[in-house]
């Protein structure tokens, strides 16, 4: 019993020391919200503005959700040329979303690509990338709503030619739906405004998240073949495309950035089962690309090495401590006070710091995420590590069809690159007015970064 108690205490003490150093530096390096005062300077040089291609891959998306996404893109205030490519990846509900396609059938900025069968999100993206020609490419998930100035603010950041990719700040559009969506919204704030913001201080955001990430086409052209042909243990890797593409950008010598005032609201899981599926997929992706990231560390700032160590070693120490404490309780009947109090103290300190930085007391409630992390996410990460070869999306089935053959066959029937898209006969077109530009839950969302994020969508 003394061995279990000593193991638990030693592991949790090591975890506390590592986390204190890591999180203190993270808070120090995290950049504050950047000012948009230079925005007008971008609009004054319209002839110099880069062309932007917005790519929206869709698979079995809810029609209202897709309509809200596309409406937010259509309302972008960007003064330069913008083309939008909506890629339907062989959806089974194509008849249901056809009215949404018809809304934009006569908008010269929009092109609809209908893939004959499901090829996966990555290949759907590549189909649109290879059929477009804009200077910058913005990937947007079909369940994401963009603030009206997102494209403008990301383009402003991308004016530095050394930057290969930039992401905006993510919030949960359905934050008020359940207790879990509230926790996930806070989790997103921490991931963006602590982790990504600190990494951006060194120009090395390790994952430009899929819901809203902009890439430089010249960089994409260099990396597209590698991006498409990612394999793990001889099998195609069909998820984690955002993290993998970000790592490829860093390997190629480009900087990756975070733009906190480019706000995008995305739908998050509202119950534990889909949340755990998502986390399992993300965990596998993170483990796979961590091996690639390790090769980059000697060329990057020392903080980023600490960042990788903290994100990977920290959970291991916490798991060892928790298992030893549980064994101590079940076998010996003694309460592991030191372990419990240390974890509780670390949790409250982190939540309090987040509440002060965000100026929102709701972050104290993020302490409820700790038991989820210990009892659900840590075992799930262990399972992910043991099943790294599994490439199942868990929420969707993917057929690996060669993208070039599929794209050539389908794109020949669309007006890609020539203005309006024609999707053929379908149900009576819906009116744009039938789709509010943001869900009611987003209107009700309160401030996430010292201001009301819903104001960005007005």
For the segment 415-431, the average pLDDT, to the nearest whole number, is 32
pLDDT higher than 70, residue 233: no
440 Cβ neighbours under 8 A, 6+ residues apart: none
pLDDT higher than 70, residue 326: yes
Mind listing the pLDDT tens digit for each residue in 364-385? 999 999 999 999 999 999 999 8
For the segment 338-352, the average pLDDT, to the nearest whole number, is 96
414 compared with 115, residue with greater pLDDT: 115
Phi, psi (degrees; rounded to nearest 5) at 256: -125, 140
Reported pTM: 0.84
> What pLDDT is recorded for position 33?
45
> What pLDDT is recorded for position 290?
82
> What pLDDT is recorded for position 48?
82
Decide if 362 contacts 183 (C-beta within 8 A). Answer: no
* Domains of the chain, each with CATH number or no CATH: 51-270+399-457 (3.90.550.10)
Mind listing the pLDDT tens digit for each residue in 21-71? 999 999 999 966 444 444 445 554 445 899 999 999 999 999 999 999 999
13 Cβ neighbours under 8 A, 6+ residues apart: 342
Give the burial class of 322: count Cβ atoms within 10 A of its Cβ; 0-12 exposed, 13-18 middle, 19 or more buried. buried
253 phi-psi bin (left φ>0, alpha ψ -120 to 50, beta other)? left
| pLDDT more than 90, % of the chain | 68
For the segment 224-251, the average pLDDT, to the nearest whole number, is 81
Distance CA 422, CA 425 (A): 9
Where residue 287 falls among pLDDT bands split at 50, 70, 90? confident
> What pLDDT is recorded for position 291?
79
For the segment 165-188, the average pLDDT, to the nearest whole number, is 98
In 120-254, which ranges are E strands? Answer: 136-140, 144-146, 163-172, 212-216, 231-232, 235-236
> What pLDDT is recorded for position 413?
32
Where residue 431 falls among pLDDT bands split at 50, 70, 90? very low
pLDDT higher than 60, residue 430: no
First to last CA, the chain: 61
Q: Which two tokens stand for residue 148?
A: 């009206």
Mind listing the pLDDT tens digit for each residue in 182-206? 999 999 999 999 999 999 999 999 9
123 Cβ neighbours under 8 A, 6+ residues apart: 228, 400, 401, 403, 406
Distance CA 402, CA 227 (A): 14
C-alpha 104, offset from chain centre: 26
| pLDDT more than 70, % of the chain | 79
Where residue 235 falls among pLDDT bands split at 50, 70, 90? low
Task: Find the helix or strand (DSSP H, E) in which 260 lies.
Answer: strand 255-266
> What pLDDT is recorded for position 389?
73
Where residue 248 falls among pLDDT bands split at 50, 70, 90? very high
277 compared with 235, residue with greater pLDDT: 277
Mind listing the pLDDT tens digit for each residue in 70-80? 999 999 999 99
Mind listing the pLDDT tens digit for each residue in 113-155? 999 999 989 999 999 999 999 999 999 999 999 999 999 999 9
What 3-state class would DSSP assign to 383?
helix
> What pLDDT is recorded for position 354?
95
Q: Cα dist. 121→55, 60, 66, 375 in Å?
A: 11, 12, 15, 31
């Amino acid at each position: 019993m003394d061995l279990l108690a000593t193991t638990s205490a030693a592991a949790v003490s090591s975890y506390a020391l590592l986390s204190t150093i890591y999180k203190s530096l993270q808070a120090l390096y995290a950049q504050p919200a950047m000012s948009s005062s230079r925005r007008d300077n971008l609009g004054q040089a319209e002839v110099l503005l880069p062309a932007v291609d917005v790519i929206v891959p869709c698979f079995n998306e809810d029609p209202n959700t897709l309509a809200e996404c596309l409406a937010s893109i259509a309302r972008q205030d960007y003064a330069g040329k913008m083309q939008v490519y909506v890629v339907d990846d062989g959806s089974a509900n194509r008849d249901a979303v056809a009215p949404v396609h018809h809304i934009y059938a006569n908008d010269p900025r929009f092109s609809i690509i209908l893939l004959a069968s499901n090829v996966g999100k990555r290949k759907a993206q590549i189909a649109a990338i290879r059929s477009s020609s804009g200077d910058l490419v913005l990937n947007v998930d079909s369940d994401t709503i963009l603030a009206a100035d997102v494209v403008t603010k990301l383009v402003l950041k991308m004016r530095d030619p050394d930057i290969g990719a930039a992401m905006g700040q993510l919030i949960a559009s359905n934050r008020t739906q359940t207790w879990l969506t509230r926790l996930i919204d806070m989790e997103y704030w921490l991931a963006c405004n602590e982790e990504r913001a600190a990494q951006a201080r060194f120009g090395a955001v390790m994952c430009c998240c899929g819901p809203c990430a902009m890439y430089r086409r010249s960089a994409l052209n260099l990396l597209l073949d590698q991006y498409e042909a990612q394999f793990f243990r001889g099998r195609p890797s069909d998820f984690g495309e955002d993290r993998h593409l970000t790592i490829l950008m860093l390997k190629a010598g480009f900087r990756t950035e975070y733009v906190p005032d480019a706000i995008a609201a995305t739908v998050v899981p509202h119950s534990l089962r889909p949340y755990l599926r998502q986390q399992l997929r993300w965990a596998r992706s993170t483990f796979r690309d961590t091996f690639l990231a390790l090769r980059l560390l000697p060329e990057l700032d020392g903080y980023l090495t600490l960042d990788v160590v903290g994100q990977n070693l920290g959970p291991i120490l916490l798991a060892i401590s928790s298992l030893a404490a549980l064994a101590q309780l079940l076998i010996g009947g003694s309460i592991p006070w030191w372990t419990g109090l240390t974890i509780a103290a670390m949790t409250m300190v982190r939540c309090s710091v987040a509440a002060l930085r965000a100026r929102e007391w709701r972050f104290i409630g993020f302490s409820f995420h700790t038991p989820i992390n210990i009892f659900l996410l840590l075992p799930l990460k262990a399972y992910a590590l043991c099943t790294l070869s599994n490439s199942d999306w868990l929420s969707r089935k993917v057929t690996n069809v060669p993208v070039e053959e599929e794209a050539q066959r389908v794109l020949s029937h669309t007006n890609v690159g020539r203005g309006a898209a024609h999707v053929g006969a379908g149900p009576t077109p819906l009116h744009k007015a039938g789709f509010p530009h943001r869900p009611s839950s987003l209107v009700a969302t309160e401030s996430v970064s010292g201001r009301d994020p819903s104001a960005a969508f007005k």
